[in-house]
């Protein structure tokens, strides 16, 4: 057996066994190589250093509080706080706490050993402690922005003060000093490349973003700012810095829902989103098994598609802000919600910047889905009128959820409501709509036909015609409805969706009922020829049918399938929907052979006038579908004027 020193400083044993060499040894990390990696690549954003150092200071305070509660620290521990002090002239940024502090041995153990987590060791001993740290690397983020880091610390135990200093290399200084204040003070000597962190507004904005809800009071001081003058009670002027904490140490989500009022929730929403409208309602999450999860999710008001904003839910870990990208934790359809989620069980990467895959994430996702569904059902059952009033905003969440989550779909079938297009404010559940239309809205295959409109104003003539037949038309006009219709039509049994302008009213529900046309075969052919014309990027087919005398003389409809594909393509659908988007519009012109106008039109001796009248009838039908544009619309206007002369 021989011993060798490997290329990277690894000691290993070389053993020759059956003419093969087996190597065994211990991998040793060279700190000269690992430090630059920690400094430059551990954190994607350099501003994270402040979050890490303040979190460590908060942990030091929380540890002291835990020890005091268990009687292991005697006497009054005072008001625990963290101070962040900026001195741009001296090019220093100081983070100071009056927490547990460290002795010389503890500095050597926790600071000089990379990735040795004092927080994790503490939690293992005191299971109920609320500690942020875990990996033992946060302190070293200081070297991303510092040319040198100094530590002054005084342990809560009877030990002398200690000083530690390092310039980012593997060499450090450590010795006892006369430092009498309990706790730890870290002084960062900001390097030239990181001068932005010597700007007061920059430092304060980082604190407000990442430390806004930490459980220990945080104060920021700009040492070079002009002192404000305040008056004491006896009226004498005295110089004083009016202190104000950066953070809210007792955020709403960690409090008991039973202790909170409607105003509390609304005020907290304003704290999170100062310019937001009052939310519709909220869900307070509070779970301690099989995972820990707290938070508040707000349902915002959404009326127009351009108002929709995702990434408004903030993820916290023990009250430390992590990210607002929560797509793995929150179901996709709830990404439109606002609020906060806090969980120490959410698996983060080493830099606590993003999520890692873990079974808990799926469990949390499923739990949030269930809580939202339960809350919606509760509101629907207890106050249906209020639920209906909020449907304009709620409908988007519910339909999106039914498209993307089958478990939510099953629950949402109970509280999905559909608004009557002809009777504003009248809503039906699916079962209620089926019952109301059972007698006259079933087709020849026994399927219940749900007639809907995507544009109540533009399709008003078709809606009125359907209502005249005793049909009920519902509104499906939101940005998700095209996908919603296609999705639920496949999942709901015995149901077919038909847009109210997909065909003439007599054909909307195929009952195999026919009405004969009063026109002869020759007149039918003559009528067809009159309507044989072309429109750019539009395919037109013509049919003569015997409709009610009260129906329009010419009706333009678009095939349901092709129109749906184009609607989905207009919402950004890919795949085959994008293919259909490139195809020309298909329009079917139905000539009502029973309309009295054809008795005069077909017998018009002036051929030119006859053709103009026929084309105008067709253009009126196209106009009702929004398909008459540009030059064709101009021609229609000019032709109409000519006919009036």
- Which pLDDT tens digit goes with each residue over 332-350? 888 889 999 998 877 554 4
Residue 352 has pLDDT above 70, yes or no: no
Ramachandran angles phi, psi of 339, nearest 5°:
130, -160
List the beta strands (DSSP E) in 523-602: 538-545, 554-557, 585-592
In the chain the first and final C-alpha atoms are separated, in Å, by 114
As a whole number, mean pLDDT of residues 300-308 equals 63
**Alpha-carbon gap, residue 529 to 524, rounded angstroms:** 9
Domain contains 15:
yes
Q: Which pLDDT score is estimated for 21?
A: 53
Q: How far is CA 615 from the centre of its chain?
A: 50
Helices (H), 353-390: 359-382, 384-389
pLDDT per residue over 429-448, tens digit each? 999 999 999 888 988 888 89
What integer is the mean pLDDT of 570-588? 64
Residue with tokens 């839910």: 313
Q: What mean pLDDT comes out for the span 451-477?
A: 92
Residue 57 pLDDT grade (very low, low, confident, very high; cuts 50, 70, 90): very high
Mean of all residue pLDDT scores within the chain: 82
Q: Are residues 502 and 534 in the same domain?
A: no
What pLDDT, on the 0 to 100 scale, is given for residue 556? 85
In whole angstroms, give the CA distance from residue 623 to residue 618. Answer: 9
- pLDDT over 50 (residue 237): no
How large is the angle between the packed helices 200-210 and 48-69, nearest 10 degrees? 50
Q: Is residue 472 part of a domain?
A: yes
- Shared domain check, 65 and 140: yes
- Is 573 part of a structural domain of the chain? yes
The b/e string for 270-289 (b: 16+ C-beta within 10 A; e otherwise) is: eebeeeeeebbbbbbbebee
- State mean pLDDT over 86-94: 97
Q: Which of 170-179, 314-323, 401-410, 535-544 has the lowest mean pLDDT?
A: 535-544
Q: Indicate if 209 and 132 belong to the same structural domain.
A: yes
The pair of structure tokens assigned to 313 is 């839910």
Measured CA to CA, the distance from residue 321 to residue 246 in angstroms comes to: 14
d(CA 581, CA 574): 10
**Higher-pLDDT residue of 131, 585:** 585
Residue 69: is its pLDDT beyond 50? yes
Q: Which of 179, 203, 222 is the last residue of a domain?
A: 222
Q: Is residue 232 part of a domain?
A: no
pLDDT at 437: 92
- 275 located within any domain: yes
Percent residues over pLDDT 90 in the chain: 38
Q: Encode pLDDT of 12-33 as tens digits.
A: 444 454 555 565 555 555 555 5
CA pair distance 248, 225, nearest whole angstrom: 24
DSSP state of 95: E
| pLDDT tens digits for range 115-151 | 444 445 544 554 554 444 443 567 888 988 999 999 9
Long-range contacts of 104-113 (CB under 8 A, 24+ apart): 104/159, 104/160, 104/162, 104/174, 104/175, 104/176, 106/155, 107/151, 107/153, 107/162, 107/164, 107/174, 108/174, 110/136, 111/139, 111/151, 111/164, 112/172, 112/174
Give the residue from 357, 364, 303 showing the smallest Cα distance to 334. Answer: 364
| For residue 365, pLDDT beyond 50 | yes
Q: In total, how many domains does the chain have?
A: 5
Could you give the CA distance from residue 181 to residue 156 in angstroms, rounded to a whole number?
9
Highest mean pLDDT among 181-190, 275-284, 324-333, 554-563: 181-190
Supply φ then ψ for residue 175, to 5 degrees: -160, 165
Q: Are residues 378 and 267 in the same domain?
A: yes
Using the predicted structure, report yes or no on whether residue 549 has a pLDDT greater than 60: yes
The answer to whether residue 348 sits within a structural domain is no
Q: What distances in angstroms separate CA 639 from CA 266, 555, 616, one per listed residue?
A: 60, 20, 8
- Which three-class secondary structure state does DSSP give residue 406? helix
pLDDT value of residue 20:
55
Task: Give CA–CA dist 460/440, Å, rounded.
Answer: 21
Whether residues 362 and 492 fall in one domain: no
Say whether the peptide bond before residue 504 is cis (omega within 30 degrees of 0): no
Mean pLDDT on 493-517: 78
CA distance 168 to 35: 7
CB 196 within 8 A of CB 202: yes
Instruction: Output 12 or 159, whichever has higher pLDDT.
Output: 159
Residue 217 and residue 69 share a domain: yes
Percent of the chain scored above 70 by pLDDT? 79
Q: Categorize the per-residue pLDDT at 37 as very low, low, confident or very high, splitting at 50, 70 and 90.
A: low
Is residue 496 within a helix (H) or strand (E), and if so which, with residue range?
Answer: strand 495-499
Half-sphere exposure of 514 (CA within 13 A, CB side): 5
- Assess if residue 138 is contained within a domain: yes
507 and 519 share one domain = no
SS3 335: coil
Give residue 326's pLDDT band: very low, low, confident or very high (50, 70, 90): confident
Do 341 and 293 meet the contact criterion of CB atoms below 8 Å apart? Answer: yes
For residue 583, CA distances in Å to 533, 577, 578 come to 19, 10, 9
134 with 264, same domain?
no
State residue 5's pLDDT score: 37
Q: Degrees (nearest 5) of the Cα angle 172, 178, 183? A: 75
Q: Is 620 helix (H, G, I), strand (E, B) or coil?
A: helix
Q: Are residues 483 and 535 in the same domain?
A: no
The Cα–Cα gap between 251 and 319 comes to 9
Q: Is the model's pLDDT at 521 over the cut of 90?
A: no
DSSP H helices in 243-390? 262-272, 359-382, 384-389
* CA distance linking residue 592 with residue 524, whole number of Å: 10
CATH of the domain at 269: 3.30.230.80
Mean pLDDT over 538-543 rounds to 83
Rounded to an integer, the average pLDDT of 377-404 is 92
Number of Cα atoms under 13 Å in the Cβ half of residue 85: 16
Question: How far is 118 from 23, CA to CA, in rounded Å?
Answer: 34
CA distance linking residue 577 with residue 574, whole number of Å: 6
DSSP 147-192: EEEEEEEE-SSS--EEEEEE-SSS-EEEEEE---SSEEEEEEEE-G
Residue 356 pLDDT > 60: no
Q: How many C-beta neighbours within 10 Å does residue 587 have? A: 21
Whether residue 469 is found in the same domain as residue 387: no
Tell whether 117 and 197 lie within a shared domain.
yes
Q: What is the CATH number of the domain that holds 155?
A: 3.30.565.10
Range of the domain at 206: 45-222
Reply yes or no on whether the pLDDT at 277 is more than 80: yes
Claim to verify: residue 49 and residue 195 sit in the same structural domain: yes
Comparing CA positions, the residue from 463, 539, 449 lying closest to residue 501 is 463
For the ranges 335-339, 514-518, 585-589, the maximum mean pLDDT occurs at 335-339
Considering 89-93, 500-504, 583-587, the range whose residues carry the highest mean pLDDT is 89-93
- Range of weakest confidence among 416-425, 462-471, 551-560: 551-560
- Domain CATH number, residue 521: 1.20.120.790
- Stronger pLDDT, 21 or 302, i.e. the higher one: 302
- Banded model confidence at residue 236, pLDDT cuts 50, 70, 90: very low
Residue 378 lies in a domain: yes
């Amino acid at each position: 057996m021989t011993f060798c020193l490997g290329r990277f400083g690894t000691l290993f044993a070389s053993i020759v066994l059956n003419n093969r060499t087996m190597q065994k040894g211990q991998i040793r990390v060279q700190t000269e190589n690992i430090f630059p990696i920690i400094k430059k690549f551990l954190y994607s954003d350099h501003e994270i250093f402040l979050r890490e150092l303040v979190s460590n200071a908060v942990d030091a305070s929380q540890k002291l509080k835990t020890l005091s509660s268990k009687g292991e620290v005697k006497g009054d521990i005072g008001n625990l706080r963290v101070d962040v002090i900026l001195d741009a002239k001296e090019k220093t940024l100081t983070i100071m706490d009056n927490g547990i502090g460290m002795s010389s041995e503890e500095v050597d153990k926790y600071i000089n050993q990379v990735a040795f987590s004092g927080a994790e060791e503490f939690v293992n001993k005191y299971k109920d402690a609320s500690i942020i740290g875990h990996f033992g690397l946060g302190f070293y983020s200081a070297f991303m922005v510092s040319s040198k880091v100094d530590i002054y610390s005084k342990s809560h135990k009877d030990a002398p003060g200690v000083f530690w200093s390092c310039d980012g290399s593997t060499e450090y200084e450590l010795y006892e000093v006369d430092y009498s204040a309990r706790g730890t003070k870290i002084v960062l000597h900001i390097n030239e490349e990181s001068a932005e962190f010597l700007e007061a507004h920059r430092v304060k904005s980082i604190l407000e973003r990442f430390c806004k809800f930490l459980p220990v009071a945080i104060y920021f001081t700009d040492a070079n700012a002009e002192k404000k003058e305040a008056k004491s009670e006896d009226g004498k002027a005295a110089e004083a810095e009016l202190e104000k904490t950066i953070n809210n140490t007792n955020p709403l989500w960690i409090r008991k829902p039973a202790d909170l009022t409607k105003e509390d929730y609304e005020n907290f929403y304003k704290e999170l989103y100062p310019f937001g409208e009052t939310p519709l309602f909220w869900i307070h999450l509070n779970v301690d098994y099989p995972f820990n999860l707290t938070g508040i999710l707000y349902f915002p008001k959404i009326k127009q598609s351009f108002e929709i904003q995702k990434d408004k839910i903030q993820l916290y870990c023990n009250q430390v802000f992590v990210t607002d990208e929560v797509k793995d934790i929150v179901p996709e359809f709830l990404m439109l919600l606002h609020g906060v989620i806090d969980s120490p069980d959410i698996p983060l990467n080493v830099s606590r910047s993003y999520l890692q895959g873990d079974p808990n994430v799926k469990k949390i996702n499923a739990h949030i889905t269930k809580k939202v569904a339960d809350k919606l059902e509760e509101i629907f059952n207890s106050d249906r009128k209020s639920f209906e009033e909020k449907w304009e905003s709620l409908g988007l969440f519910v339909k999106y959820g039914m498209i993307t989550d089958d478990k939510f779909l099953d629950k949402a079938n109970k509280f999905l409501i559909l608004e009557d297009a002809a009777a504003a404010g009248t809503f039906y559940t699916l079962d209620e709509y089926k019952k109301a239309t059972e007698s006259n809205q079933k087709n020849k295959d026994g399927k219940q036909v749900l007639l809907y409109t995507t544009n109540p104003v533009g399709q008003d003539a078709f809606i009125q015609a359907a209502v005249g037949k005793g049909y009920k038309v519902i509104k499906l006009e939101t940005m998700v409805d095209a996908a919603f219709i296609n999705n639920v039509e496949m999942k709901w049994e015995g149901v077919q969706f038909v847009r109210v302008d997909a065909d003439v009213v007599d054909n909307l529900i195929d009952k195999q009922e026919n009405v004969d046309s009063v026109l002869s075969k020759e007149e039918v052919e003559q009528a067809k020829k009159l309507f044989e014309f072309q429109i750019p990027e539009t395919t037109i087919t013509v049919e003569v049918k015997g409709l009610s005398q009260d129906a329009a003389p010419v009706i333009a409809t678009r095939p349901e399938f092709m129109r749906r594909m184009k609607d989905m393509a207009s919402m950004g659908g890919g795949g085959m929907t994008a293919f259909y988007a490139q195809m020309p519009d298909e329009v079917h012109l139905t000539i009502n052979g029973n309309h009295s106008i054809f008795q005069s039109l077909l017998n018009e001796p002036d051929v030119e006038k006859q053709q103009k009248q026929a084309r105008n009838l067709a253009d009126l039908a196209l106009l009702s579908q929004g398909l008459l544009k540009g030059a064709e619309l101009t021609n229609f206007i000019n032709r109409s004027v000519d006919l009036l002369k």
